Amino acid sequence: MKNYDLITPEGTKDLLFGECIVRRNIESSLMGLFRSRGYSETITPGLEFYDVFNLNSRYFPQENLYKLTDSKGRLLVMRPDNTMPIARIVATRLRDADLPLKLCYAQAVYTTEPSLKGRSDEVVQTGIELIGSQLKMADLEVISTAVDSLSSFGMEFSLELGHIGIFKELVGKLEASDKDKEAIRKLIENKNFPALNDLLDSFGGSPVITALKKLPALFGGEEVFEKAEELMPDENIKHILDELREVYADASELCGGDGSITVDLGLVNKTDYYTGLIIKGYLQGHGEEVLSGGRYDRLISEFGYDVPAIGFAVNINAVAKLMEKSDVLPAEPKADVIVYAEEGCEVAALKAARELREQGLIVENALFDDLESVREYAMEKKIAKVVVIDGESKEVNI
Amino acid sequence: MNKPIRMALTKGRLEKDTVGLLEKLGFDCTAVREKGRKLILPVPDANLEVVLAKANDVITYVEHGVCDMGVVGKDTIMEMKGKFYELVDLGFGKCKFALATKKGYDFYSGYGIKTIATKYPNVARSFFEKKGMDTEIIKIEGSVELAPLLELADGIVDIVETGTTLKENGLEVIEDVAPISARLIANTVSLKMRHAEIDRLITLIEENL
């Protein structure tokens, strides 16, 4: 049998030293940002029952989940998403909690990705969930947290807004089979104009069809709303568009109108449990979105508690990769002092080192049995001071 | 000047057709025409950088965003799938996927599971899945026409241009699977972050097809 004891599974990797510092820095700066806005952390198990992710709406295709069984033979999965477990908590332990609830998290999700594509099966996400408010202010709170998150990375970014309601309303007016509706959704998602036009032509002509044809082209800035306005066939959809326009205008003003807020009415991803506003964040240099979220007013009701919610998650792996590309990896802090114990003085040396640490220094205990090796090690590691403990302590400066 | 937009072209005929199109738009493609062995070539007056790659790799580079746009056949898109925008049907590189068997063979008769040889297992699988038909699919790397002749397979799903190869080997098309042509694709983030530049290029291209 082949032995795999020296490698990690495809889609996973070990992080070393500077890579860990980058990763932890991003996580802690985002979690700090969330806390400073009043969000409280939750940690959910890495293992969950499959049923949590297998609700009626089936957001997660089973072929993309890591599955295992517990000791009673029940089906478990490695957590593929952070929002569903939080929805489960909200519907159970936090059911009687005062609303709105503001929760945040920093933990990995696991999905099986196609092999040999350079994708990760284990992705760390940090994100927020704001539960129990349908106010415009809730949307703006989440958007402004997303903007602060993206701008904290110090790179050129863009935050894109969309609204799944526009597509849902339009396609709902179309007399088409579910299969055709799904095909239309997919073509809009891929901005596949030629095939979308062909497919919609087979339904004849109507304002709804014209609007659906144009939907994937409706992305950019303020001008999108002008174009969309004329295309929307009824008041209901116009109302959704107006709401989005207001949120867009406020978000743009918040960012000083620098064009970093954009809109795309063709954001219609399948696995989304989103019911309204959709947000996506991009950083220059990464080929996929690094931030993704939206409003999911009906998800928690699938766990038996009808309460609206909105949130987003940041893909920390992607941000870390970009930072490692653009900067030199940060060095680990080097020790200030190394303490060497002559034979018989080990305890005294350990105590001396402890005292030095209490003064705020970084102190290593020497793990050699002669002073010469300690000196060489200190030179190599650029440790400025060697303290020798031999009954009466003496310091040696390098 | 912004950093150039990177466009991956499928080496070979699609590359030549695309360069022809770019020249029709008035861009100077001398560097691409006289490329030698270079794989990344500038089209300075369009602020483009052309990258020459194999068809599957065009999709990989565009998906990862290391190339902003790409020109690739619908055949490769159908087989590879992936996350990118498929913006324009360029209209050249036209051919089709078809199901072919030995001449006179009644493919849909009997209840036995049919064996299909193909270079495009995903295309073949989804074609028969839509028909609700279980098939055994065998991947062949070279001349797929050999498989039915050697009686490894009942039929093949392959790209057909003129049908000459099929005919000379006693095979015939019994059903079209899908039409194929070259497509202009774009990375999902590039299209948003460099909207104005890409939009200008696409409008120019669409006007000149």
In the A/B pair of chains, how many CB contacts fall below 8 A? 52
Task: Name the pairing type of β-strands B171-180 and B95-102.
Answer: antiparallel
* A285 Cα to chain B: minimum distance (Å): 7
- Cα nearest neighbour of A116 on chain B: B60
CA A262/CA A289 separation, integer angstroms: 14
Same domain, B148 and B73: no
* Residue-wise pLDDT tens digits, A166-193: 999 999 999 889 889 989 999 999 999 9
The stretch A333-358 carries a mean pLDDT of 93
What does the pLDDT profile of chain B (209 residues) look like in tens digits? Answer: 578 999 999 999 999 999 999 999 999 999 989 988 999 999 988 899 999 999 999 999 999 999 999 999 999 999 998 899 999 999 999 999 999 999 999 999 888 999 999 999 999 999 999 999 999 999 999 999 999 999 999 999 999 999 999 999 999 999 999 999 999 999 999 999 999 999 999 999 999 88
Same domain, B78 and B174: no
CA A73/CA A343 separation, integer angstroms: 57
Q: Which of A194, A220, A289 is opposite residue B89, by nearest beta carbon?
A: A194
- Cα nearest neighbour of A264 on chain B: B192
- What is the sign, positive or negative, of the torsion defined by CA atoms of B16, B21, B22, B26? positive
Q: Is B198 on the interface with A (CB under 8 A)?
A: no
- Judging contacts by C-beta atoms under 8 Å, the chain A residues touching residue B193 are 156, 158, 282, 284
Is the distance from CB of A264 to CB of B192 less than 8 angstroms? yes
First-to-last alpha carbon distance for chain B, in angstroms, is: 28
Q: What total number of domains does chain B contain?
A: 2
Of B10, B157, B155, the residue nearest B77 (C-alpha): B10
Write out the two tokens for A309.
Answer: 């919610």
Residues β-bridged to residue B9: B52, B71
Contacts of A349 (CB under 8 A, 6+ apart): A339, A340, A341, A365, A389
Contacts of B106 (CB under 8 A, 6+ apart): none
* Residue-wise pLDDT tens digits, A73-89: 999 999 999 999 999 99
Same domain, B161 and B99: yes
Beta-carbon separation of B193 and A118 below 8 A: no
Q: Is B121 on the interface with A (CB under 8 A)?
A: no
- Judging contacts by C-beta atoms under 8 Å, the chain B residues touching residue A325 are none
- Cα nearest neighbour of A179 on chain B: B130
**What's the number of CA atoms in the CB half-sphere (13 Å) around residue A220?**
15
* B86 Cα to chain A: minimum distance (Å): 5
Same domain, B21 and B68: yes
Same domain, B203 and B131: no
Same domain, B139 and B198: no
Q: Is B15 on the interface with A (CB under 8 A)?
A: no
Same domain, B118 and B87: no
Same domain, B173 and B190: no
Q: Note the pTM of the prediction, 2 decimals.
A: 0.89
pLDDT reported for residue A397: 62
Same domain, B64 and B145: no
pLDDT reported for residue A272: 67
Q: Is B193 on the interface with A (CB under 8 A)?
A: yes
For residue A328, pLDDT beyond 90: no
Beta-carbon separation of A289 and B87 below 8 A: no
pLDDT reported for residue A114: 85
For residue A58, pLDDT beyond 80: no
**Which residue shows structure tokens 């839509």?**
B130
Range scoring the smallest mean pLDDT among A16-25, A385-394, B12-21:
A385-394
pLDDT reported for residue B57: 96
Q: Is B83 on the interface with A (CB under 8 A)?
A: yes
Same domain, B139 and B155: yes
- Judging contacts by C-beta atoms under 8 Å, the chain B residues touching residue A285 are 65
- The 8 Å CB, 24+ separation contacts for A90-95 are A90/A131, A90/A300, A90/A303, A90/A305, A90/A307, A90/A309, A91/A300, A91/A303, A91/A304, A91/A305, A92/A303, A95/A305
* B50 Cα to chain A: minimum distance (Å): 18
Beta-carbon separation of A287 and B187 below 8 A: yes
Q: Is A160 on the interface with B (CB under 8 A)?
A: yes
For residue A329, pLDDT beyond 80: no
* Residue-wise pLDDT tens digits, A215-254: 999 999 999 999 999 998 889 999 999 999 999 999 999 9
Contacts of A381 (CB under 8 A, 6+ apart): A334, A335, A338
Q: Which of B63, B87, B187 is opposite residue A193, by nearest beta carbon?
A: B87
* A287 Cα to chain B: minimum distance (Å): 4
pLDDT confidence bin for A92, thresholds 50/70/90:
very high
pLDDT reported for residue B110: 87
Same domain, B29 and B58: yes
| SS3 assignment, position A286 | coil
* Residue-wise pLDDT tens digits, A353-378: 999 999 999 999 999 999 999 999 99
- CATH at B187: 3.40.190.10
CA A380/CA B45 separation, integer angstroms: 53
Is the distance from CB of A107 to CB of A135 less than 8 angstroms? no
* B116 Cα to chain A: minimum distance (Å): 24
- Judging contacts by C-beta atoms under 8 Å, the chain A residues touching residue B195 are 219-220, 262
Beta-carbon separation of A282 and B191 below 8 A: no
Q: Is A81 on the interface with B (CB under 8 A)?
A: no
For residue A324, the surrounding DSSP H or E stretch is helix A316-326
For residue A392, pLDDT beyond 80: no
pLDDT reported for residue A204: 85
Average pLDDT over all residues of chain A:
92
* Residue-wise pLDDT tens digits, A118-141: 889 999 999 999 999 999 999 999
Is the distance from CB of B173 to CB of B150 less than 8 angstroms? no
Beta-carbon separation of B63 and A117 below 8 A: yes
Q: Is A220 on the interface with B (CB under 8 A)?
A: yes
DSSP B194: T
pLDDT reported for residue B81: 86
* B140 Cα to chain A: minimum distance (Å): 20
CA A123/CA A14 separation, integer angstroms: 13
Neighbour count for residue A313 (Cβ, 10 Å) = 22
pLDDT reported for residue A336: 94
Q: Which of A160, A190, A289 is opposite residue B85, by nearest beta carbon?
A: A190
Write out the two tokens for A119.
Answer: 């994708």
Same domain, B76 and B125: no
pLDDT reported for residue A220: 93
* B107 Cα to chain A: minimum distance (Å): 28
CA B153/CA B102 separation, integer angstroms: 10
Q: For an interface test with B, give the residue of A155, A280, A288 to mutate (most B CBs within 10 A).
A: A288
Can you give the residue range of the structural domain that contains B58? 5-94+181-207
Q: Which of A160, A191, A288 is opposite residue B85, by nearest beta carbon?
A: A191
CA B40/CA B38 separation, integer angstroms: 6
Q: Is A190 on the interface with B (CB under 8 A)?
A: yes
Q: Is A269 on the interface with B (CB under 8 A)?
A: no
- Judging contacts by C-beta atoms under 8 Å, the chain A residues touching residue B186 are 191
- Judging contacts by C-beta atoms under 8 Å, the chain B residues touching residue A194 are 86, 88-89
Q: Is B189 on the interface with A (CB under 8 A)?
A: yes
The stretch A310-322 carries a mean pLDDT of 96
Beta-carbon separation of A191 and B195 below 8 A: no
